[in-house]
Amino acid sequence: MAIYKKANPKIWSGRTSDQRLYMHEKIKCGPIESISPHSIALLGYECDEGVKRNQGRVGAVDGPNAIRAQLGKMPNHLDSKTEVYDCGTIQCIKGDMEVTQNKLSQMVSKSLTKNALPIILGGGHDIAYGHYNGLADHIGKRKTIGIINFDAHFDLRSVENGPNSGTPFYQIAQDCNANGTPFKYLCLGIRPDSNDKNLFETAIDLEVEFLRNTEFNIQKLKTVSRVIKKFISGVNHVYVTIDLDGFSSAYAPGVSAASPMGFSPDIVLRSLGTIIKSKKLLGMDIAEMNPTYDIDDQTAKLAASLIHFVIHRISE
């Protein structure tokens, strides 16, 4: 079972002004049905059942509100015409991840009917399956969605033992094959110490494009940008998913699978800039925010800063 919880205005707090200088003063709370066209729709995904099934560290269920709390404190540089809504949260009940994903899919599709940009706050990386399905349901089979995943992991595990946070892109690939639609997947930051040889073989079989962590850094920005631009040129829309465990634990200790060997924020920000410039961004999410293991809210601040960057850049 999954339930929808209305947005809680009390979560949005910080310094106050009479000029809406801070994000908590800018953000409106309301259901998707009430949002204005061409706005930004934030939606929480309180679910880490997939992490639990994947033998990871649970706690990402509390991720959405941790991100909200940090985003609300940040400065607001948006113009008066740009509206940002907190559209509430989908909560997983009694471990029913599949129903929760389905509910997420429906709400993503609803936000797109308003021509809004959905930004989903997670939650485990099983968020990706529900989010993608909502995007795909909205645009139909005639247009292609390119998935760009910032991650240390392919998340292409088989569903032989059931779906979890490590299976979403394998599930999407299977659905694409069944529907006769292209599976377009670019993964940035892959680490050999985080993916076994079977996962690399699966990625090759599915024609997944990827850059290893050693190739995904600011020193190789030109190469990274070229890869991203080429990938985007072959699709109609782009879905961005950011798994916070792809970052080095120096930046993101509060995740389900932390490692010091991850990438840094600078290359992610530059990559996001390239994606946004294409005007093809259809939806975005942040996954694996785990406050249980965070230090001084560092990971929540990173997640909030990424969202802050995106919503300001697309509004320029």
Check the annotation: does 77 bind a ligand.
no
Coil, strand, or helix at residue 145?
A: strand
The residues, any chain, with a CB within 8 Å of residue 256's CB and separated by 6 or more, are 48, 51, 56, 57, 58, 59, 60, 124, 165, 245, 288, 290
Residue 79, token pair as written in the block: 């113009």
Coil, strand, or helix at residue 295?
A: coil
Task: Judge whether 67 and 303 are in contact, CB under 8 Å.
Answer: yes
Check the annotation: does 237 bind a ligand.
no
- In whole angstroms, give the CA distance from residue 128 to residue 147: 10
Q: What amino acid occupies position 166?
A: G
- Residue of 216, 268, 223 lying closest to 244 (CA atoms): 268
Check the annotation: does 79 bind a ligand.
no
Bridge partners of 40, per DSSP, are: 84, 117
Check the annotation: does 155 bind a ligand.
yes
Check the annotation: does 205 bind a ligand.
no
- In whole angstroms, give the CA distance from residue 223 to residue 217: 10
- In whole angstroms, give the CA distance from residue 22 to residue 170: 40
Residue 247, token pair as written in the block: 């970052």
Bridge partners of 90, per DSSP, are: 4, 45
Task: Judge whether 128 and 105 are in contact, CB under 8 Å.
Answer: no
Residue 87, token pair as written in the block: 């559209």
- In whole angstroms, give the CA distance from residue 225 to residue 87: 33
Binding residues: 125, 151, 153, 155, 243, 245
Binding residues for Mn(2+): 125, 151, 153, 155, 243, 245
